[in-house]
Structure 1
Amino acid sequence: MSERSGPAGAAAVTDADAKKVAFGAFVGTALEWYDFFLYGTAASLVFNRLYFATDDALVATLAAFASFAVGFAARPLGAVIFGHLGDRIGRKKCLIVTVTLIGVVTTLIGLLPDYFGIGLAAPVLLTLLRLLQGVAVGGEWGGAVTLAVEHAPPKRRGRYAAMPQIGSPVGTLLSSGALLAVSNLPPEAFDSWGWRLPFLAAFPLLGVALWLRRRVEESPLFEKLLEQDERASSPVREVFATAWPQLLVGAGTALLGVGGFYLITTFVISYGTTTLGMPRWLLLVATLAAATVEIFVLILGGRLAERYGPARVTVLGAAGSALLAFPAFWMIDTTAAVAVVLGVTLATALLSIPYAVSGALLTELFPPNLRYSGVALSANIAGVASGFVPLAATALLALGGGSSVLPTLLLVGIALLTCGCGLAAPRMFADRDQVTTADSATV
């Protein structure tokens, strides 16, 4: 990574401290994504039947995915709230609040009666809880990445910025694995109580995450900004007023890693089970295999960011995703077990390359006093669009008469947009050289 993000480097601590902070960020983020991804998988398998019950399976699935999208629509609100607080009162305090909120909300989803128990109140309450999930996640990731980077030695920021990213596939493994375990129950038991167990498991996991988060030190850079009163008075407003080009480019670079992922997981699970008639266990196994491979891709991506820069790595992964989107879907369309697993894994691995370096790239775009807000807003603007990807892909599937061609073109379009923003990002780094130098002199 470029040495231009000098302020963070000036406040950097030892490798041992950086590893401790990055691990704490990873564990908290893994819980956040476990809860968030669990909802997405359940929307494909459970919520469409038990909470949005209609005689038309397509309408029920669209309604379930619409509630899924609500969580993404709420994420910018979380970015605004926690971005402001994170740049004003500290990164650590906000991360404790966000992980607590999402753990409690997920537990409540596991306790919520379904449509056949309380009628229309069930989908309304479910959607409200999803909204609160979105607010929490909107403030979580930006803070975790900012905290990890601001503790890291300058030449190793790529690997430490990738640590919170690894929470994503680990969260996928945990959520998909939990649902896979209970999916073997008899259908009546699964629908009655089996699907609830993974949601209820969020509560004990929350205790572990809170214990680790409380042991993490506050960012030394933020403490210096606090001592010298160098904080922005209204960081969110300043980001929109002075750094909106970085905001848009940052959102574009983050889009494939989030939106593409939900197309290949949440949408493909629904597409595979309802349109292609595949068993749900096969799609869950494919998701588990892809998430396992993704962990290694993310580790590699962090190292590549240190060697070649996060923008170049973003372009590489996005271009690869665009080129191989159709071959991946062709494998899925065969419905052969090995081909399906390979197709989902290939697509996930490629889009994970830009996702691996997203934290490193976004933290390069914003000065320290606006960093939490800028990173959170960029990621969650991308998140809003990403939340509607399964819904859009399902609508395109219906428009195309059940063919995967239009959903595949949607993936290609997302990849090309991320590729273009990756090409533009270095200019954003150069534009803030002067700002970063001034910050470095004050820290």
Structure 2
Amino acid sequence: MSQSPPRAAGAPPVVSGKDAGKIARAAFVGTALEWYDYYLFGTAAALVFNRLFFTDMNPTAALLASFATFGVGFAARPIGAMLFGYIGDRYGRRPALLTTIVMIGIATALIGMLPDYATIGLAAPILLAVLRLVQGLAVGGEWGGAVTMAVEHAPAEKRGRYAALVQVGSPVATLMASTAFTLVLLLPSETFDAWGWRIPFLLAIPMLLVALWIRLKVEESPIFKDLLAQEETVKVPAFEVFRHAGGRLLVAVLAALLGVGGFYMITTFAVSYGSNSLGVDRNVMVNATLIAAVAQIVVTILMGRLAEKIGPGKVTMWGGILSAILAFPIFAMIDTRSPLLITLAITLGIVLIAVAYAVNGALLTELFPPKLRYSGVALGYNIAGATSGFMPMVATAMLGVSGNHSWGAALILAIISLLTAVGGFVGERLRVQDKQLVAD
């Protein structure tokens, strides 16, 4: 489906760079809270939940069950994308984003208050899965709406940088979550298991209040206001995406695979693999993600600017190709058990993944017309999330097949990297095609 040429009458107002920056920062805050919550859960799945919530299983089965609970949130994301995509494309981007951020924050805080298996038995893992499901539903609508708002408030020639600013929320959240876990890991093991692990989750409450305060000040998207004025909103946007833009949705899914699945392979799975299979100190694994997050911030900002010059699809393609080439060397460095090489490997892995992830928002928003944009972007990103969210569990299962060697995980990373490269290549061709149609 090609985007319609802009109308002379009722065209969206031009927004100043200052206003666009304010909107992008508000979108960034929500994305940071989203990734903070998700990264916390992923780390806790590797270090806490397998021991405190699945205690009746052998260690491998408990770890698999823990990662399965982690994956439940991803499975719920496409449903959340349809639900909040409906709200965002039908009633407004703003009300959808206010709802998602409240749901994410409250669900995360409740996880921090949840009694463990020793206290309430089987109800503990069940409630954990339910709260993870709520997180997944909310996150299904959060990112798509955030980048849609940022892009729709930005001047066309600067969309790459403002979309990338939203993506900076991921490494900032990683820094916050890793720092929180690093500090509580300093506690004695008994104290950490008793209540220390809960502190990072409870910190979601003040973060939610700040994010909500910022979001309440955000104006509705001028492009959505224009759709309302022209009476161009659709009744069931998700259905229209599948019906009229199915090919573009597939491209969006492929382009987003590496940014979601690759990230959790290098963080969630790598932390678990290093700690549980290789016997590396947990602090070494978690601290490595701190250093990687700092590098990711820089790369994300640079890639946003590069996308404005050569196109987000090309950036995505090269990010996927480079990640595929270096997937096996990265895991080989982790296998050395050397703290220095592990830190280098995780940093390199995150930086490569960030190349494609940085421009996800810029690429995906240009694949869909405004009346389907929230739903199209949210579905593409979250179908990719649902597909790749179980990758840590699959990689863990493959350790049994490979005799506890990492080649299976490296193979998974290489495959999703190449699929993302294909998505970037095709996505860029569609972007160029759309611009030519508008010019004609």
Report how far residue 9 of structure 1 moved.
8.9
Residue aligned with 1:365, SS: coil
Partner of 1:100: 102
Q: What TM-score, normalized to structure 2?
A: 0.96
Partner of 1:38: 40
Distance verdict in 2 for CA 1:436–1:206, change over 3 Å: farther
Whole-Å separation in 1 of the counterparts to 2:167 and 2:161: 10
Report how far residue 328 of structure 1 moved.
1.2
Partner of 1:113: 115
Paired letter, 2:403? G
Distance verdict in 2 for CA 1:437–1:125, change over 3 Å: farther
2:12 and 2:226 in contact (8 A); partners too: no
Paired letter, 1:105? A
2:4 and 2:369 in contact (8 A); partners too: no
Whole-Å separation in 2 of the counterparts to 1:37 and 1:9: 40
Partner of 1:57: 59
Paired letter, 2:421? C
Partner of 1:410: 412
Whether 1:81 and 2:77 are equivalent positions in the alignment is no
Whole-Å separation in 1 of the counterparts to 2:290 and 2:360: 22
After superposition, the C-alpha distances for 1:309-358 in whole angstroms (9 at most, x for unaligned) are: 00100111111101111111111111111111000000110011010000
Partner of 1:300: 302
Whole-Å separation in 1 of the counterparts to 2:318 and 2:260: 17
Report how far residue 184 of structure 1 moved.
0.6
Distance verdict in 2 for CA 1:275–1:236, change over 3 Å: same
Partner of 2:397: 395
Q: What TM-score, normalized to structure 1?
A: 0.96
Instruction: Work out which of the residue numbers 308, 327, 336 in structure 1 matches 2:329.
Output: 327
Whole-Å separation in 2 of the counterparts to 1:151 and 1:134: 26
1:12 and 1:150 in contact (8 A); partners too: no
| C-alpha RMSD of matched pairs (Å) | 1.8
Paired letter, 2:164? A
Whole-Å separation in 2 of the counterparts to 1:118 and 1:254: 39
1:3-402 correspondence to structure 2 within 5 Å: 10-402=12-404
1:366 and 1:374 in contact (8 A); partners too: yes
Whole-Å separation in 1 of the counterparts to 2:5 and 2:72: 35
1:11 and 1:151 in contact (8 A); partners too: no
Total equivalences in the alignment: 436
Residue aligned with 1:366, SS: coil
1:315 and 1:422 in contact (8 A); partners too: yes
2:269 and 2:396 in contact (8 A); partners too: yes
Whole-Å separation in 2 of the counterparts to 1:285 and 1:207: 28
2:312 and 2:362 in contact (8 A); partners too: yes
Paired letter, 2:398? L
Whole-Å separation in 2 of the counterparts to 1:437 and 1:78: 36
After superposition, the C-alpha distances for 1:394-425 in whole angstroms (9 at most, x for unaligned) are: 11111100001111011111111111121111
Whole-Å separation in 1 of the counterparts to 2:12 and 2:226: 10
Alignment gaps of 5+ in structure 2:
none
